[in-house]
Amino acid sequence: MLKRKLQAGALFYATGISIVIAMLVMSVILCFDLNARLVMKDKIKFTVLNNAESGVIAALQFSEPGIYNIDLFNTGRDSVTLSVIPWGLFDICESDAHTGNEHFKRYALLGNRISSESDYALWLADMDRPLFLCGATQINGKSYLPKSGVERAYIEGSSYVGSQLIYGPQLPSSRYMIAPNEYCKSRLEQLKNGIRLETDSILSIDVVMKGDTIRNSFDKATVNIQADLFCNLHDMTLQDNICIVAKKRIQVESCNLRNVILIAPEIIIGRGTYEGLQCFATDSIHLDSAVQLQYPSALVLLPENSKNTDPCIVIEADSKIGGDIIAYNATPAYNEQTGIILDNNSQVYGRIYCSDWIDLKGHVCGSVACGRFTLNTNSARYNNHLLNATIDNSSFSRDYASTVFFNSTATKRGIAKWLN
């Protein structure tokens, strides 16, 4: 009897131990399975993230806005939906990658890279007069010049001190300025008229108070702030996907602006640092001294007949601009009145285009295209003279992505900035 009880007890213990071992084995199997699922999920997530970024790269093949569905690797498993929409004179690319239930969006600002046709330091229209260089002026890079060439000159007590006139190849220019294509012209007209989309969130400037903070994102509708006449922005933070339109003037002072568009006849930017700011005006754009516009920014003047008789972009001393400066007049009769002034010690890293005259006293790392130069001093006004100015294309990055204004048949697209 005792022997049978011992056998039954041993069986009970053996069964209990077997159950414990089975549970441990099952736990190990479940842990391995869970780990495998997590690894697979992370792998899919990593793939989706990479595909979203690859989608932005793939969007560089499209020259105009639109919606594009592509299979990145032609496997049927890596689908990306691309939405390319205008944002000022750049384009916003939304890359939505999805695999199974996983999806991720990346946003980037697209522009145009430098083509062989636009790879120059200076393009000066041929108005039957030479270019005069004075003082420590230096032009580095390929230059398109009038047939009358380049000459040394002595003004304001300074003669040209360079060992050669142009440090780079010289080619003949033409009488007529390089004009943007028809697509770009239509974009400029829309911006000049302050166009807005039906999906925009419209706010009156009256509800935006001093000290307010508005932060938007590019996966939401554009916040469009409207002002009937004047818009004074003071001590505000406005960031991402925000457009401000006024019928008379926009004045900015002590603000934190990032990825914002300003549209008004007259725009005044006070001292401060602004990132990705695009300004579109019909009368004038004025930057106070020591203003910093970080790349990718744009200052665009689009004069209208019946408006300011002397439309001009003025950049005061010690200001730094990263981006394009454009003064384009589509009406030839008014070309002689459109100008850009770069004051002493102002610095531009980007491309400058002016339908008529530029008063250049600062330094440009990039390129300059204009009808003529004018130099205003305390004693006189000189035509086609440069004094102590620098135009340097040799150290300008070929990966620079400019606005769509600079377009040609050989233009390729580039990423100006990642937005998330």
CB 145 within 8 A of CB 122: yes
- Would the pLDDT of 126 be above 80? yes
* pLDDT score recorded for residue 334: 43
Residues 55, 72: Cα–Cα separation, whole Å: 7
* pLDDT score recorded for residue 307: 55
Question: For the segment 17-59, what is each residue's pLDDT rounded down to a tens digit?
Answer: 878 887 888 877 877 767 666 666 666 666 788 888 888 998 8
CB 369 within 8 A of CB 393: no
When pLDDT is cut at 50, 70 and 90, the band that residue 7 belongs to is low
From residue 154, give the alpha-carbon distance in Å to each of 119, 316, 343: 30, 25, 20
Q: Tell me the β-bridge partners of 358.
A: 340, 373
Average pLDDT over residues 221-250: 91
CB 154 within 8 A of CB 161: no
Question: For the segment 195-217, what is each residue's pLDDT rounded down to a tens digit?
Answer: 666 557 777 777 776 778 899 99
- Which of 94-108, 219-233, 384-398 shows the lowest mean pLDDT across its residues? 94-108
Within 10 Å of residue 406's Cβ, how many Cβ atoms?
A: 26
User: 167, exposed or middle or buried, with CB in 10 Å at 0-12, 13-18, 19+?
Assistant: middle
Cβ-Cβ contacts under 8 Å for 185 (sequence gap 6 or more): 330
* pLDDT score recorded for residue 118: 82
Residues 369, 383: Cα–Cα separation, whole Å: 16
Average pLDDT over residues 112-128: 90
Give the percent of the chain with pLDDT over 90. Answer: 56
- Would the pLDDT of 276 be above 60? yes
Round the average pLDDT of the chain to a whole number and report it: 87
Average pLDDT over residues 272-276: 93
- Would the pLDDT of 123 be above 90? yes
The per-residue b/e assignment along 54-72, b for 16 or more CB within 10 angstroms, e otherwise, is bbbebbbebeebeebebeb
User: 309, exposed or middle or buried, with CB in 10 Å at 0-12, 13-18, 19+?
Assistant: exposed
Token pair recorded at residue 27: 């736990």
When pLDDT is cut at 50, 70 and 90, the band that residue 238 belongs to is very high
Question: For the segment 337-396, what is each residue's pLDDT rounded down to a tens digit?
Answer: 789 999 999 999 999 999 999 999 999 999 999 999 999 988 899 999 999 999 999 999
Closest CA to 299 of 287, 308, 316: 287
Question: For the segment 55-66, what is each residue's pLDDT rounded down to a tens digit?
Answer: 899 889 888 889
Residues 3, 257: Cα–Cα separation, whole Å: 90
Asked whether the bond before 296 is cis by omega within 30 degrees of 0, the reply is yes
